[in-house]
Structure 1
Amino acid sequence: MEKLTTVKHDDIRWLDIVHPDEKSIKRLKRNYKFHELDLEDCLSENQRSKIDEYADYLFIVLHFPYYDRIRKRIIAEEIDFFIGADYLITLHDGHLKTMEKLITKCKKSKADLKEYLGKGTGYFLYIIIRELFDDSFGIIDDMEKGVIKMERDLFEENTEKDMVRDILWLKKDVINFRLIIAPQRAVIAQLEHKNKKFLPENLEVYFDDVVDKIEKLWSNLETLKEITETLQNTNEVLISHQTNRVIKTLTVFSVILLPLTLITSFYGMNVNLPFGWHSLAVWGISISMLGLAILMLIFFKWKRWI
């Protein structure tokens, strides 16, 4: 269901639309002269990140990561921006708590309202993008804590299967995060060079700051990617080593049982055999077999095969 919030300061207006629908688009079409394709894009899913420049407004599509606690994975949230000389319109699905925080600040604090909207729509666009990327670092921090826990648990016994699953989930999150952030790098870099009417030259330094944040995010993701691959390789080596130990143990027992089986089979034949008539033969054979097994174990231990 659509949720519409309007925030206003002097002549500058921020219109935030959560869960836009056909009614939302008709309202925008009636009140603004936006291109038909831009309005259609607002209702489409999985739009690529982009900037479309027009004479009196910019249409911007960006994506930001958030952690879906139900599906337990990182997902992209699309935000569509219409920015003009005296208005900024945002359309999204409401998964990003940063947008709610900004609305609350603007409504509760006149100082924040003046700070955000008092310097024009271009500056407020910078504020929104900056805050959204700052929140992305929180997701990175949570992922790094998960990595630290995995490193601690990696060498504990009986964790191989759980560790494989956890590493694969982490690897998937890193891949999803990278797929979200990668296109934003180019789009944000273009912002400072677009329509100077809405993004004046004195804002270039601010968007440079956003570019730096994205590059830092990307650097952290590269580090996480390398650590995840190292964890996966290490875990595979540990699993392989554990498997080899089990196989080696089973092989040793098989080798020990082979001569014992041969002896029991030999004396199980229905023919006259040495000492087969003796009353203590069964005990002698049993002690001999036990001694042979012990000697073989000592030999294997001496050769460091077990």
Structure 2
Amino acid sequence: MQTIDTGKLKWINIPAPSQGDIDTLEKAYDFHHLDLEDCLTENQRAKIDRYDDYRFLILHLPTIQAKTKRIVYIELDIFISEDFLICLHNGHGYLNELFEQAQNGEGVVKEYMSSGTGFLLYNILNDTFETLFKMVDDLTRETNKIEKEVFQAENNRDMLKDILLLKKDIINFRRIILPQRTVIAQLEHMSFSKQDGDLEVYFDNVVDKIEKIYATLENLYELVESLHQTNESIIFHNTNNVIKVLTVFSVVMLPLTFVTGFYGMNVNLPMQHAPNSVLFIAGLMLLILGSMLAYFKYKNWI
């Protein structure tokens, strides 16, 4: 549990909260026990609960899972009142960096905590959602890379897995980010401290960021969906080419097999005992082969 106290307001950061941290909060503040329980359990939806003396927020933020390098969400729980703001989260890197910057720099404290807790909440959310644009840029670069590889004629690598993983990341990102808009929009009409003033325009700025992120993700999803269909068409086309070659090979071999089988019978056949019978049969087979290939070429089948 880390604390910055300016005398007027207190900012508490609790990464990876334990039962001991929850017990400490329960003794120090008059929080509802269900809210404290929510801080130790995974909640499936973002929400905001209003009480007479504080507000309790649950937000979900997209992040990159260290092991799989895929997009998942972490939960951010916030208790906010007139004189304190408490953030509980499962080790979100940027939130920890933001708090450390505030601890180590008076300028950050002055910028973030010079007004009330509502303005502090705005700064935290605004900077946090601003970092999501970098994740969107990374997805855009990955999409452009896959697009280039899909349309490279000499590229024989199977792109299906890459496309599906990228699509999954975009879907997860969209599913995480959209519900946060509703919660942040509710903050526009709330008052947390007398020092804050009108915060509507500030939280509206955060809502705009969320809408821009979501719109970009929508465009990326449509592009990846098109790449998926294009890749499937290319795979189908390449498969048809392989089948066409195998079919031509089978058709060409059929008359040659007939000729060799015909002259392999244990009966008297024309030219069977002629001195040049082998050359005659080989020439006949080459003539049939050449004629068939020429006909296939004329029909543009090969």
TM-score band, normalised by the shorter chain? over 0.9
> Unaligned regions of 5+ residues in structure 2, if any?
none
Residue deviations 1:83-140, cap 9 Å, x none?
A: 000100000111x222122112212221210110111110110111111111111111
Contact 1:53 1:195 (8 Å CA) reproduced = no
Give the alignment of 1:126-165 within 5 angstroms.
Answer: 126-156=122-152, 157-161=154-158, 163-165=159-161
Select which of 76, 79, 85 maps to 1:82: 79
The number of aligned residues is 301
Q: Match of 1:19?
A: 16
Contact 2:117 2:192 (8 Å CA) reproduced = no
TM-score, normalised relative to structure 2: 0.96
Give the distance between the partners of 2:209 and 2:135, measured in 1 at CA. 14
Give the distance between the partners of 1:303 and 1:160, measured in 2 at CA. 31
Shift of 1:72: 2.0
Give the RMSD, CA atoms, in angstroms: 1.4
Select which of 204, 224, 228 maps to 1:208: 204
- Bigger shift: 188-197 or 77-86? 188-197
Is 1:273 equivalent to 2:277 in the alignment?
Answer: no
Is 1:57 equivalent to 2:54 in the alignment?
Answer: yes
User: What letter corresponds to residue 148 of structure 1 in structure 2?
Assistant: N
Give the alignment of 1:85-234 within 5 angstroms.
Answer: 85-94=82-91, 96-156=92-152, 157-161=154-158, 163-195=159-191, 197=193, 202-234=198-230
Contact 2:22 2:36 (8 Å CA) reproduced = yes
Q: Match of 2:235?
A: 239
Distance change in 2, residues 1:294/1:239 (3 Å): same
The SS at the match of 1:15 is strand
Identity of aligned residues (%): 49
Contact 1:85 1:121 (8 Å CA) reproduced = yes
Shift of 1:160: 4.3
Q: Match of 2:43?
A: 46
Give the distance between the partners of 1:158 and 1:198, measured in 2 at CA. 63
Contact 1:192 1:199 (8 Å CA) reproduced = no
User: What letter corresponds to residue 134 of structure 1 in structure 2?
Assistant: E
TM-score, normalised relative to structure 1: 0.95
Give the distance between the partners of 1:56 and 1:268, measured in 2 at CA. 101
Contact 1:160 1:235 (8 Å CA) reproduced = no
Give the distance between the partners of 2:190 and 2:156, measured in 1 at CA. 53
Distance change in 2, residues 1:192/1:220 (3 Å): same
> Unaligned regions of 5+ residues in structure 1, if any?
none
Distance change in 2, residues 1:97/1:196 (3 Å): closer
Contact 2:115 2:196 (8 Å CA) reproduced = no
Is 1:8 equivalent to 2:8 in the alignment?
Answer: no
